[in-house]
Amino acid sequence: MAPRKDNETVIGFLIRRIGQALIVLFLVTVATLGLVHLFPGGPVRALLGDRATPYEIAYYDKLYGFNQSFFVQYLKWVDQLLHGNLGYSAKLNLNVSAEIAQDLPKTIVLVLLGTVVSLLFGIPLGVYQAVKRNSVADYVLTGISFLGYSTPTFFLGIVLVDWFAVDVHIFPPFAPQYTSVASILGDPRALVLPVVTYAFLLYALWSRYMRSSVLDNLVQDYVRTARAKGASERRVIWKHVFRNSLVSIVTLLGLSLPTLVGGAILIEAVFNYPGMGLAFYQAALNVDYQTLLGFTVLATVATILGNLLADVGYAMLDPRVRY
């Protein structure tokens, strides 16, 4: 994250950021392609399985261009990318863009809902904790949010399924099994357990940050000034402190955009909800390099966008930073 320098124009800012973004994209994709080539036997052997005769291996090496140098392969892939083609996964018999179109909406639903739920609880409780610092409530809430930090997601998910779906049939044992977003959202009962599991970890994040951010702000000069001027405590907190504390949350929100690409893999595995995370895991196990590269690009773009959004939000919310 690099806020705008003084006397830099908006255009200049954008150019600088785009330049940085391209460098990052380059580094990440080279690294991914390099990693793929570290698999013993190469990607073709993994693709064809152990039945492949040398005849077939040679044929496919040529077909997919694996017999060319790393440099040439990378350039070919870049060329393909610039033509808008994210690649074709032979293992899945799907275009990578079709894979993404199929999996991304589902992950977005899960991550968005989980984020919203965790924010709804995290922000107010974080403020409350800061105001009532070191009280019993503060300790208890701290304990709960730390529980969120410390519980393995898959453990929580499976245990919840076992208690609330199998032993007692309150919720279904899986996330919604539909493919369209509308149908998924139309089955809220099935969304409860996965969203709760996902939100539990995030809640910890928001409430801790909110708490420390509010605490930081409470000792600032402008708060003392506002109090001296006679503003009520509530006004001080909600009008001044809260707004400034939101800055850190906005930053974090922006930075968490990449979790849309592969962050929710454990929830997806436990609740039979195949999204981007599981797709990536399968691609890694299968050495499905086209998918790996495509997802990597997507994740990087998401990060860059996320950083940008975070900066913009930061600028809009923090009165000290003005463009």
Partner 1 sequence: MAMEAQAIAATDAELGLELGTAPRGMFRRAWEVFAENKLALAGVAFVVFILLFCFVGPHIYVTNQVDTNLINTLCPPSSSNLLGCDELGYDQLGRLMVGGQTSLEVGLAAAVVSVLFGTLYGAISGFAGGFVDSVMMRVVDAGLSLPSLMVIIILSVIFHPTPTVIIFIIAVFYWFGVARLVRGETLALRNREYVQAVKVIGGRPMRSVIRHIVPNAIGTIIVQGTFAVADSILTLSVLGYLTLGVAPPATDWGSMLSGGLTYIQGGNYWWLIYPPGVLIILTCISFNFIGDALRDAFETRLQRR
Partner 2 sequence: MFRNRRRPRLARVAVAGAAALLAVGIAACSSSSSPSSNTSSSSTPSSTAAAVAGGNATVALPAGVTLNWIWPFIPLTSANEYNTEGFEEYMYRPLYEFGNNGDSVSVNYPLSLANQPTYSDGGKTVTISMKGWKWSNGETVNANDVVFWLNMMEAEKANYYGYTPGLLPDNLASYSATGPDTVVLHLKSAVSSIWFTYNQLAEITPMPEAWDVSSASAAAGSGGCTTDSAKDKWAKCDAVFNFLTTQAKNVKTYATNPVWQVVDGPWKLSSFSTASAGPVTSFVPNPDYSGAPKAKLASFTYYAYTDDTTEYTALKTGQIDVGYIPSADLPPNSGSSVLPSVNPLGSGYNLQPAYQYGIFYMVINFNNPTIGPAFKQLYVRQALQDVVDQPGIDKAVYRGYAYPTSGGVPTQPKSQWVPSVQNENDGQGPYAFSVSTAKSLLTSHGWKEVGGVMTCESAGTASNECGAGVTAGTKLSLTMDYATGVQAFQEEVAVYKSDATQAGIAINLVPQSFNTIIGETTPCSPGPKCTWDILNFGGWNFNGPGFEPTGEPLFETGASSNPGSYTDSNEDKLINETHTSSSISVFDQYATYTAQQLPFIWLPNAYAVQAVNSKLANVTFNPLFTWLPEYWNFTK
Residues that bind partner 1 (CB under 8 A): 20, 23-24, 27-28, 31-32, 35, 38-39, 134, 139, 142-143, 146-147, 149-155, 158-159, 162, 166, 208, 212, 219, 258-259, 261-263, 265-266, 277, 280-281, 284-285, 287, 292, 295-296, 299-300, 303-304, 307
Of 44 and 257, CB closest to partner 2? 44
CB of 230 to partner 1, least distance (A): 26
- The binder of 60, among partner 1, partner 2, none, by C-beta within 5 to 8 A per type, is partner 2
CA distances from 104 to 100, 263, 300 (A): 5, 12, 15
Question: Which tokens belong to 104?
Answer: 């991304």
Query: Which positions from 261 through 300 interact with partner 2, judged by CB under 8 A?
Result: 268-274, 278-279, 282, 284-287
Q: Which long-range contacts (CB under 8 A, 24 or more apart) does 268-272 make?
A: 268/107, 268/110, 268/175, 269/154, 270/153, 270/154, 270/157, 270/158, 270/161, 270/194, 270/197, 271/157, 271/161, 271/174, 271/175, 271/193, 271/194, 271/197, 272/174, 272/175, 272/177
Q: Is the Cβ of residue 88 or residue 295 nearer to partner 1 in the bound state?
A: 295
- Of residues 17, 24, 33, 42, which one binds partner 2 by CB under 8 A? 42
Distance separating alpha carbons of residues 26 and 6, to the nearest angstrom: 28
Binding positions for partner 2, 293-322, rule CB under 8 A: none
Q: Does 86 bind partner 2 (CB under 8 A)?
A: no
Q: Residue 260's Cα: distance from chain center in Å? A: 4
Closest to partner 1 by CB, 153 vs 197, is 153
If contact means CB under 5 to 8 A according to the sort of partner, which of partner 2, partner 1, none does residue 150 touch? partner 1
Pick the closer one to partner 2 by CB: 89 or 307. Answer: 89
Taking the complex as a whole, the smallest distance from the CB of residue 270 to partner 2 amounts, in Å, to: 8
Q: Helix 289-317 crosses helix 10-36 at what angle (to 10 degrees)?
A: 150
Q: Which of 98, 131, 253, 317 binds partner 2 (CB under 8 A)?
A: 98
Measured from the CB atom, the residue of 88 and 206 that comes closer to partner 2 is 88
What the block records as the tokens of 64 is 């997919």
Decide if residue 157 touches partner 2 (CB under 8 A). no
Residue 85 binding partner 2, by CB under 8 A: no
Q: How far is CA 144 from the centre of its chain?
A: 23
State how far the alpha carbon of 23 is from the alpha carbons of 70, 83, 84, in Å.
19, 19, 19
Q: Which two tokens stand for residue 264?
A: 């929710």
* Residue 107 binds: one of partner 2, partner 1, none (C-beta under 5 to 8 A by kind): none
- Count CA within 13 A, CB hemisphere, residue 77: 27
The burial of 10, by beta-carbon neighbours within 10 Å (0-12 exposed, 13-18 middle, 19 or more buried), is given as exposed
The entry of partner 1, partner 2, none that residue 82 binds, CB within 5 to 8 Å by partner kind = none
Q: Rule CB under 8 A: which residues touch partner 2?
A: 39-42, 45-53, 55-56, 59-60, 88, 90-94, 98, 102, 158, 161, 165-166, 169, 172-174, 177-179, 268-274, 278-279, 282, 284-287
